Structure 1
Amino acid sequence: MQLQVTNSPFNQEQTEILNQLLPTLTETQKIWLSGYLAAPQTAAFLMTPESRAKNQPVAGNSPQSIKPSATREVTVLFGSETGNCQALSEDLSQKLEEKGFKVVLSSMDDFKTKDLKKVQDLLIITATHGEGDPPDNALSFYEFLNSRKAPKLKDVRFSVLALGDQSYEFYCQTGKDFDQRLEALGAERLHPRVDCDVDFDDLAAEWMEGVLGQLQDSSQVGQVEDSNVTKIAQLQTGATIQQVTKYSRTHPFQAEVLENLNLSGRGSNKENRHLELSLEGSNLEFEPGDSLGIYPENDPALVDRIIAEMQWDPEAPVTINKVGEVPLRIALLSHYEITILTKPLMEKAAQLSSNGQLKALVAPGNEEKLKAYIDGRDLLDLLHDYSPWEVPAKEILGILRKLPARLYSIASSYKANPDEVHLTIGTVRFHAHGRDRAGVCSVQCAERVKPGDKLSVYVHKNPNFRLPADPDAPVIMIGPGTGVAPFRSFLEEREEIGATGKTWLFFGDQHFRTDFLYQVDWQRWLKEGVLSRMDVAFSRDTAEKVYVQHRMLAKSKELYQWIQEGASVYVCGDEKHMAKDVHDTLLAILQQEGGMDQEAAENYLTDLRKQKRYQRDVY
């Protein structure tokens, strides 16, 4: 919102203050402010969420206008790896407070397990990480709940919202585990669990609506008599309010590409791109550790091969939810995922097909064969291998899931470059099953995106990957390959704010000559003292492969000393191999230098994680 000076009784200074305040207010705060300002004339009395939860009116408000408050407390716990579940939990908590409920909102890590038996209504929103594992900030709660120490919960009502990705074998497994375990402990299911794929907005909204409905049906909720209260449309001054467009995951910004450079040297086995995008006019802001979501387009050549294989009319109209009618080719280019097969997709395809081999492949007992077929194949393979298809195009498209955004760690500081965002993107290319394959977004950026083109983007907040609040605290950063991207953002930020804490970067890749990403930046920061020290590992430059964990182990004494001095440890990059190896190396260093046994070292790292001093952004 923007307050215009025209016809306003406010002077320029007051107008500027109001324009700084208005965009930061929640709907609840706007309603409260409206009632507060109007109270002397209209007696439109309101309560803050905090005072409403305590059934106490704001000073000067009329108690007669308030109905009884909710008799039960709602606890909202989240397990979030990339921030989606935390954002949904905050949204749900706000909705609950607006309905008059008292709410406890917490990450699972920060929730005191001794208080679990006091909980009345428990709402869990959790992601699933890796091979069906809980997110880092849900691990300790997950282990407690599945231990013999977990209390009986016969007086607790609960519901679970699970986020996942159907392209992974253990889809939404953590949410399923919580749902089953809470029931086994005697809790009553308030509302059925909902499992969400990467396109989670609609299902999450339906789950919230269902949960709110159940809670309201069974509780007396404090509400405000609102006959004279409306949300702020005007500040009762005659001044007009301008609506500022808010860009988000569901309403992306069209960002112009300013630069698109190949960071990899000639002869490299890799292609790593550095993109600079303009955010001018977007009102988007970000912090070090956040990611940028890009909505990509599929490879036109692959789309055309699918259309040719099926002998479809590329101009045939296709209706897409919330979009409307578009030509079939545009639908395949921009709206549907066609490069990844999943078990649910294969099962739905078998229902549309008369092919006995396909039906046998998805039958119970053939899980390993199905998993092997899915690996490295795409929609074109499926349509070709199990033809003919005697169903119209719209039915095939109806089983496809929405083309999801791709997230990339931001490689720049907003404070240093307020109208830009920089990305480091590793181009994915591979050969499988007789055909060359390509990453959807990475190859689009490498081959088809030029300066002046635009990409659909949004900022993805990641509150679980943040610099220490104290700029004097030491920082250890471990980021091989493109995993180094957020640490470029970290150091740009620390340079901009004049942070004085020590910094140590571990970087690795294949070859010094061709794969030393951002080498000039690191060297400048080392010279200026923004980066205190740097250790590198180029695995293909020596007879024996050397990785970042080997460099860490070689400097174990100094690393342990930094951690003892209060350093925060950050890890970014590949989860399956690098992150696991780094984690094991940290455990080894704690045992070697700290004289700990395995259990003590694991507990030490767990404590670091709870203190936000061991943070990972792995994928």
Structure 2
Amino acid sequence: MVSPYVSAMLGEERSALLQRVVEGLPSETLHWLSGYFAGLATQRGPVQEQAPAPTPVVQAVPEAWLTIIYGTQTNNSRMLAERLKHQAEASGLSVRLYRASDYPVREIAKERLLYIVISTQGDGDPPDDSRGFVEFLLSKKAPKLEQLRFSVLGLGDSSYPKYCEIGKILDTRLAQLGATRLLNRADCDVDFEPVAQGWLDQAVGKATEELAPKTATAVVTPLRTAPPAPKHGKEAPVTAEILVNQRLTGRGANKDVRHIELSLGDSGLAYEPGDSLGVWPRNAPELVADFVSLLKVNGETEVTRDGRALPLQQWLTEELELTKVSKPFLERHAALSGSTDLQRLLAPEGAEAFRALLKTHQIIDLLRLWPAPWTAEELVRALRKLAPRSYSIASSQKRVGTEAHLTVAVVDYVAFGARHTGTASYFLATRTGDEERVRVFVEPNDRFRLPRDSARDVIMIGPGTGVAPFRAFVQERAETGAKGRNWLFFGEQHFRSQFLYQTEWQEALKKGELHRISLAFSRDQVEKIYVQQRLREAGKDLYAWLEGGAHLYVCGDAQRMAPDVHEALIDIATTHGGRSREDAESWLSTLRDEQRYQRDVY
């Protein structure tokens, strides 16, 4: 039915014609038409005649705005920041949302209300998209902010000693600059939803009070609605069938690396090169049996948590984290066991030993080495919820269609006299027969994208399983006919047994889909050789590629490889670009800001 307002604007005949034209059109087309008609109006210039005015409605017009800045490596912070924006806008607030790398830092002196949602990577590092923002705030260039009211939501992983460190640093720094906390900082663990949603609700309430919108007369003319929620995601995964589970590493290799191909079927799930696939694993039956046996509890005992009653065995298999030690669990275990050794680890002076324990021990090791009288109920309450694991997608959908490929290093080793496995990698590696189905979802990664200009050259640095997204990059560039050159740096321990996708790279070189490959196999000679050494050896050419507009990508280990590669790039800029170290670092920062130096590290 045509609204009276439309009839008044167009007349009965034209409004009826418009109704026939738009009838049955999908929402995407209507959105496009709204922009098309707005463009026509702009081309025709200002309105010459005043149309009958629509009936005014009362709307809240905010005196000021709320600015939200997020920093993310895995998109969780972005998701929460977008949710905060939607909640605030639904409360009538004017909101600006920025990724930290896109925020014009000089504007911070003008802000009156600022919320920051930011994650911490590894042992206290900012996400790659936030480094410039964090460095600015911590520098002498940061202005006094007496007029600013703020709050920080930090995301992290309590299995790292510097849990939510970046959120804490920014919270402290803003206060040092004279800003006032509108709401206390909140720190979220891997299972972030309960804490995050509470903070979001309070943040919206405080912002609404602070901005104090006036009541004014305004005309509401919505041209665009919020996009619909995706059909599939973390909480609504797709059940995918494993089509191929093939070992890539040969005999004698120290690692078991698998190439896994999954069918997404008719789910409609789409991804781009650079995205990751989230996998919901289950804990190994052997590990669950060890927990039940060691603690002398009944696996059939029904336990209630968060309003859900399940048998203990089901909690341990499908719902709870059984491998990675978290600080809260360690604190509770230290108290139950009465171990002074564990309690010393939790003291400030035990930080280094605590860090070492987190790297070397799984939860089952704590239970074996420091026995404690856990009950089924206490155990279920103390363990973290099982979280999905992310794997870089190793395929281009333009080539593989409804499939998604992964490159998975299986964690399987002996420590403290017992076998240890990785939750998701072992789960994927052991899917056979009727168990060849897993729950998956796509995690977009907008900060790890091929250049829009396909004529640009691409340099890819991916040792080990870090090569996965670059298999997707090369496939995509071949399928789209990209004119730019592709240069891959790959490293592993041994050429014969660990040259991942060797035949594919050789075939890509023959076809001209890959133009150059530089290899580093660390254990094939007395002197260990890593990719950073190959970077330095090819420094002159690499610098020329970058100066010519190439995009550079790094994927893999965040603790050692990524910093070593970064240092090698600084050396290359000083050696072949005649830059000082300070200028070289500034040059890399500029490449990062231009999204020509992108990293996906973990």
Query: What's the TM-score, normalizing by structure 2?
Result: 0.87
- Counterpart of 2:10? none
- Aligned residue for 1:124, secondary structure, equals strand
Contact 1:293–1:460 at 8 Å: present in 2 too?
A: yes
Query: Does the alignment pair 1:455 with 2:463?
Result: no
Render the CA deviation track for 1:319-355: whole Å, top value 9, x for unaligned: 2437x22211111011111112222211123344556
Q: CA deviation at 1:61?
A: 7.5
Distance 1:223 1:267, change over 3 A: farther
Following the alignment from structure 1 to structure 2, what is the Cα–Cα distance between the partners of residues 317 and 229?
55
Following the alignment from structure 2 to structure 1, what is the Cα–Cα distance between the partners of residues 116 and 77?
9
- Counterpart of 1:176? 168
Q: How does 1:424-443 map to 2 (within 5 A)?
A: 424-443=407-426
Q: CA deviation at 1:285?
A: 1.3
- Counterpart of 1:416? 399
Following the alignment from structure 2 to structure 1, what is the Cα–Cα distance between the partners of residues 506 and 21?
46
The structure 2 residue matched to 1:521, chosen from 501, 504, 518, is 504
Q: CA deviation at 1:276?
A: 0.8
- Counterpart of 2:551? 568
Query: Does the alignment pair 1:255 with 2:245?
Result: no
Distance 1:484 1:63, change over 3 A: farther
Contact 2:392–2:406 at 8 Å: present in 1 too?
A: yes
- Counterpart of 2:130? 138
Following the alignment from structure 1 to structure 2, what is the Cα–Cα distance between the partners of residues 10 and 379?
64
Query: Does the alignment pair 1:103 with 2:95?
Result: yes
- Counterpart of 2:45? none
Distance 1:126 1:223, change over 3 A: farther
Distance 1:566 1:222, change over 3 A: farther
Distance 1:62 1:201, change over 3 A: farther
Contact 2:305–2:381 at 8 Å: present in 1 too?
A: no
Following the alignment from structure 1 to structure 2, what is the Cα–Cα distance between the partners of residues 285 and 565?
33
Query: Does the alignment pair 1:350 with 2:346?
Result: no
The structure 1 residue matched to 2:193, chosen from 196, 201, 212, is 201
Distance 1:327 1:162, change over 3 A: same
- Counterpart of 2:313? 329
Query: Does the alignment pair 1:264 with 2:264?
Result: no
Render the CA deviation track for 1:492-537: whole Å, top value 9, x for unaligned: 1112221111111111112222111112222222222221211112
Distance 1:401 1:606, change over 3 A: same
- Aligned residue for 2:150, secondary structure, equals strand
Following the alignment from structure 2 to structure 1, what is the Cα–Cα distance between the partners of residues 395 and 317?
30
- Aligned residue for 1:214, secondary structure, equals helix
- Identity across matched positions, percent: 42
**Letter aligned with residue 156 of structure 1:** L
- Aligned residue for 1:206, secondary structure, equals helix
Q: CA deviation at 1:193?
A: 1.1
**Letter aligned with residue 268 of structure 1:** A
- Counterpart of 2:293? 308
- Aligned residue for 2:102, secondary structure, equals coil
Contact 1:69–1:220 at 8 Å: present in 2 too?
A: no
Distance 1:519 1:61, change over 3 A: farther
Q: CA deviation at 1:370?
A: 4.1
Distance 1:429 1:529, change over 3 A: same
Q: How does 1:8-157 map to 2 (within 5 A)?
A: 18=26, 62=54, 64-157=56-149
Contact 2:120–2:156 at 8 Å: present in 1 too?
A: yes
**Letter aligned with residue 329 of structure 1:** Q
Q: CA deviation at 1:386?
A: 3.2
Q: CA deviation at 1:110?
A: 2.2
The structure 2 residue matched to 1:584, chosen from 560, 563, 567, is 567
Q: CA deviation at 1:597?
A: 0.9
- Counterpart of 1:51? none
Q: How does 1:471-490 map to 2 (within 5 A)?
A: 471-490=454-473
Distance 1:11 1:572, change over 3 A: farther
- Counterpart of 2:518? 535
Could you list the runs of 5+ residues in structure 2 that have no partner in the other structure?
1-17, 36-50
Following the alignment from structure 2 to structure 1, what is the Cα–Cα distance between the partners of residues 144 and 400?
53
The structure 2 residue matched to 1:469, chosen from 418, 439, 452, is 452
Following the alignment from structure 2 to structure 1, what is the Cα–Cα distance between the partners of residues 481 and 20?
36
Distance 1:541 1:367, change over 3 A: closer
Following the alignment from structure 1 to structure 2, what is the Cα–Cα distance between the partners of residues 305 and 61?
74
Contact 2:408–2:465 at 8 Å: present in 1 too?
A: yes
Distance 1:610 1:357, change over 3 A: closer
Contact 1:480–1:507 at 8 Å: present in 2 too?
A: yes
- Counterpart of 1:596? 579
Following the alignment from structure 1 to structure 2, what is the Cα–Cα distance between the partners of residues 472 and 357?
59
Q: How does 1:389-408 map to 2 (within 5 A)?
A: 389=373, 392-408=375-391
Render the CA deviation track for 1:583-616: whole Å, top value 9, x for unaligned: 1111111111100011010000000000000000
- Aligned residue for 1:208, secondary structure, equals helix
Following the alignment from structure 2 to structure 1, what is the Cα–Cα distance between the partners of residues 332 and 349?
17
Query: Does the alignment pair 1:548 with 2:531?
Result: yes
Q: CA deviation at 1:560?
A: 0.8
Contact 2:124–2:162 at 8 Å: present in 1 too?
A: yes
**Letter aligned with residue 275 of structure 1:** I
Higher deviation after alignment, 516-525 or 307-316? 516-525
- Aligned residue for 2:251, secondary structure, equals coil
Following the alignment from structure 2 to structure 1, what is the Cα–Cα distance between the partners of residues 148 and 339?
48
- Aligned residue for 2:241, secondary structure, equals strand
Following the alignment from structure 1 to structure 2, what is the Cα–Cα distance between the partners of residues 518 and 60?
68
- Aligned residue for 1:498, secondary structure, equals coil
**Letter aligned with residue 194 of structure 1:** A
Contact 1:411–1:486 at 8 Å: present in 2 too?
A: yes
- Counterpart of 1:283? 268
- Aligned residue for 2:585, secondary structure, equals helix
Could you list the runs of 5+ residues in structure 1 that have no partner in the other structure?
1-8, 34-58, 234-242
Contact 2:161–2:351 at 8 Å: present in 1 too?
A: no
Query: Does the alignment pair 1:319 with 2:304?
Result: yes
The structure 1 residue matched to 2:324, chosen from 310, 319, 340, is 340
**Letter aligned with residue 113 of structure 1:** V
Q: How does 1:190-269 map to 2 (within 5 A)?
A: 190-221=182-213, 246-269=231-254
Following the alignment from structure 1 to structure 2, what is the Cα–Cα distance between the partners of residues 509 and 584?
20
Following the alignment from structure 1 to structure 2, what is the Cα–Cα distance between the partners of residues 449 and 159?
48
Superposition RMSD on alpha carbons, in Å? 3.0
Higher deviation after alignment, 357-366 or 108-117? 357-366
Following the alignment from structure 2 to structure 1, what is the Cα–Cα distance between the partners of residues 531 and 168?
36
**Letter aligned with residue 504 of structure 1:** W
- Aligned residue for 1:543, secondary structure, equals coil
**Letter aligned with residue 289 of structure 2:** D
Following the alignment from structure 1 to structure 2, what is the Cα–Cα distance between the partners of residues 344 and 494?
46
How many corresponding residue pairs? 565
- Aligned residue for 1:571, secondary structure, equals strand
**Letter aligned with residue 259 of structure 1:** V
- Aligned residue for 1:404, secondary structure, equals coil
Following the alignment from structure 2 to structure 1, what is the Cα–Cα distance between the partners of residues 433 and 21?
43
Q: CA deviation at 1:545?
A: 2.0
Distance 1:66 1:414, change over 3 A: farther
Query: What's the TM-score, normalizing by structure 1?
Result: 0.85
Contact 2:262–2:405 at 8 Å: present in 1 too?
A: yes
Contact 1:99–1:223 at 8 Å: present in 2 too?
A: no
